[in-house]
């Protein structure tokens, strides 16, 4: 499975942005997808994840209530709606996928990764 993330950009604090990730190749009904982010010198950090059905989601504490993850399986896409953006949200955002039942929050739990998309939030 190949993943491609897009939708990043430069915004001001308080603005909104929606990231998208499209999956190509063979996915199955257990394909969990997630978003991670990384800043220079730091490890990649979990942001959010969603189950295949979309009924189960999980968020990092730092984005809970501001970000919303969703997916459209007919289009093989997962989205990350980011509202009330803060300068500390600035990072390269990566989408990830893995065939599993339960959603996961660790980098090592995902085998499929897209290229990153830069999100920059100015104060």
Q: Is the pLDDT of residue 18 over 90?
A: yes
- Give per-residue pLDDT as tens, 41-81: 999 999 999 999 999 999 999 999 999 999 999 999 999 99
Phi, psi of 96 (to 5 degrees): -140, 155
Tokens for 22, please give them: 């499209």
- Give per-residue pLDDT as tens, 85-112: 999 999 999 999 999 888 999 999 999 9
Give me the pLDDT at residue 25, please: 82
Give me the pLDDT at residue 85, please: 98
Please give the DSSP secondary-structure letter assigned to residue 40: T
Give me the pLDDT at residue 1, please: 87
SS3 8: coil
Distance CA 57, CA 74 (A): 19
Match 């290229």 to its residue by tokens: 115
Please give the DSSP secondary-structure letter assigned to residue 25: S
Q: Which of 46, 44, 109, 43 is nearest to 80 (CA)?
A: 46
Give me the pLDDT at residue 100, please: 87
Cβ proximity of 123 and 15 under 8 Å: no
- Give per-residue pLDDT as tens, 30-49: 899 999 999 999 999 999 99
């Amino acid at each position: 499975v190949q993943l491609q993330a897009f939708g990043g950009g430069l915004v001001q604090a308080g603005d909104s942005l929606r990231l998208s990730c499209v999956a190509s190749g063979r996915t199955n009904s257990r394909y969990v997808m997630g978003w991670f982010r990384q800043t220079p010198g730091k490890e990649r950090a979990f942001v959010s994840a969603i189950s295949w059905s979309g009924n189960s989601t999980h968020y990092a504490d730092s984005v809970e209530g501001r970000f919303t993850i969703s997916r459209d399986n007919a289009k093989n896409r997962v989205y990350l709606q980011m509202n009330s953006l803060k300068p500390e949200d600035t990072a390269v955002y990566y989408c990830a996928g893995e065939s599993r039942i339960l959603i996961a929050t660790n980098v090592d739990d995902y085998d499929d990764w897209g290229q990153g998309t830069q999100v920059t939030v100015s104060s």
